[in-house]
Copies of this chain bind each other. A is one copy, B any other.
Amino acid sequence: VSKASTPRAVGLVGGGVIGAGWAARLLLNGVDVRLFDPAPQTERVVAEVLENARRAYGRLTLAPLPPEGSLVLVDSPEEAAAGVELVQESAPERLELKRELLAAVERGASSETPIASSTSGLRPSELQAELAHPERLAVGHPFNPVYLLPLVEVCGGSRTAPETVTRLAGLYRSLGMHPLVVRTEIDGFVADRLLEALWREALWLVHDDVATVAEVDDAIRYGAGLRWAFMGTFLTYRIAGGEAGMRHFLSQFGPALAWPWTKLTDVPELTDELVERIAAQSDEQAEGVPVRDLERRRDDVLVALLQALRAEDAGAGATLAAWERGLMGGAAGLDGDDGGPLRLHGTRIPADWIDYNGHVHESRYLQLCSDATDALLGALGVDAAYLTDGGSYFTVETHLSHLRQLEAGDRVQVATQVLDADEKRLHVFHAVLRDGEEEPVATAEQMLLHVDARSGRVAPARDGVLDRVSRLRDAHAALPRPERAGRAITIP
């Protein structure tokens, strides 16, 4: 893969959603842009899309972005094409209109400047038919939002020079995109053939009143859509085939292609030759990685995606969050309390808590105590319903003491004592105890405040919780005060 450098200047023809998306990706990569679009709202649309893109890039990367390129709105396709290293056309999908614009671009551009069309539906051979230099035209089909999605399909027509395709792929790669060279010129290229198939079926489902648009979307985003974010359909089914792989999957799944719900369409006959082709290409794609490893890799990425979605409270991430709130409600109760410190949390130290020095990372001692606090809150009645209703405790201060060291595999329990409490405050002390030992390996003193999540302010705990807090405080008042409670840090 040759590394092209970022172009200095690019001409754009068309400033709708796609053209403005191109402008944003280019400008934020430090490329100067000359844009032609006769529509009066162009300047506003581009400014709005650029603002969205700036915001997204600010979150996307810690890498230093180059100084933003300059944007010039020009009055003709000829001017957009003057002195640039690439012209990208993103006009409405009408062949005659695009041909006219491309002819004008050609008049303004030097004869070596590559010209790309963002078309999703017109063949490059048709677009280039009337050009004086058809060899430098190809399709460069991006996806919305252009400044974030990496895919761009590059497809040459019958008169496109192979160097044009290579050059475009390099230019797109320099902008952080993933060029997919479509080797065979077909209507819809590759991606839109797949998108269209899904879209047609979705329209039928709504047409037949089987599902609403929201139900169709949910059927995607809570299930297969999560896999499609990093695996396509073939790798997914290879893994579904298990140890026996793709040939097995096809032989098992093949008959499904003749099931009744395929009445809406033709399906290719799964001849031995086709099965063999798919299986061989699938073997090549998997690069010899065994299916168990593919499964673990799939799981790792799914976990990362679910956590990303949870942070955004989106789709399957919201489902994960709801499940976790439910788990909190099931934490141990105060039943069987013997009047001593509570033992609400125990675990085994996992290997990935070990830092580069071979010790348990100090933050994981706090995690143990924090999990004990969570268990305590659950036992006090801070459950999913309470949280949903806006009540919650927040830790505002923690004083940790590291007394001895834990090792991976150690079993520990946390002993928890309530030192003090009032209607808004909860003052607790945790001792981390290795199983079978009396002396703690670490202690944590914590102050928590009760807040009303809706106002974001400190507020008294609600009745049921407050009662339990008070009872526990009174019960623990009889316990000896831990030696390390109330410490401040100093060199005397």
Contacts and interface: CB of A to CB of B under 8 A. Distances in A.
Given A320-B60, A348-B62, A370-B362, A232 B216 contact: yes
A158 interface: no
Interface string A184-223: 1011101111111111111111111111111111111111
A398 B308 CA distance: 30
Interface in A210-248: 210-235, 237, 239-240, 242
A487 B490 CA distance: 10
A149 B226 contact: yes
B17 A242 contact: yes
A268 B217 CA distance: 19
Given A55-B299, A357-B387, A281 B487 contact: no
Nearest to A145: B299
A198 B205 CA distance: 15
B296 A314 contact: no
A394 B405 CA distance: 10
A491 interface: yes
Interface in A47-61: 48, 52-53, 55-56, 58-61
Contact of A285 (B62, B63, B214, B422): B214
Nearest to A206: B278
B397 A401 contact: yes
Nearest to A344: B64
B52 A296 contact: yes
A206 B408 contact: no
A213 to B, nearest CB: 4
A33 interface: no
A62 B441 CA distance: 20
B222 A150 contact: yes
B187 A259 contact: yes
B56 A311 contact: no
A228 B220 contact: yes
B354 A307 contact: yes
Contacts of A327: 61, 63-66, 356
Given A232-B225, A267-B203, A311-B351, A190 B217 contact: no
Interface stretch (A72-80, A99-107, A170-178, A335-343): A170-178
A48 B387 CA distance: 36
B302 A63 contact: no
A489 interface: yes
B188 A261 contact: yes
Contacts of A325: 356
A261 B354 contact: no
Contacts of A330: 6, 30, 64, 66
Given A64-B331, A216-B194, A261-B196, A319 B268 contact: no
Given A198-B197, A394-B402, A231 B217 contact: yes
A143 to B, nearest CB: 4
A282 interface: yes
A180 B490 CA distance: 58
Nearest to A313: B358
A489 B311 contact: no
A272 interface: no
Given A61-B327, A195-B224, A217-B235, A308 B304 contact: yes
Contact of A262 (B200, B299, B364, B427): B200
Nearest to A144: B240
Given A211-B182, A395-B402, A304 B296 contact: no
Nearest to A191: B219
A326 interface: yes
A386 B328 CA distance: 44
A363 B370 contact: yes
Contacts of A184: 208-211
A374 B363 CA distance: 13
A456 to B, nearest CB: 10
A193 B433 CA distance: 48
B215 A225 contact: no
Contacts of A355: 324
Contacts of A213: 232, 234-235, 278, 281-282, 285
List the 8 shortest-distance A-B pairs measured between CB atoms, nearest first.
A217-B232, A176-B323, A151-B223, A324-B356, A225-B228, A311-B408, A197-B201, A229-B229
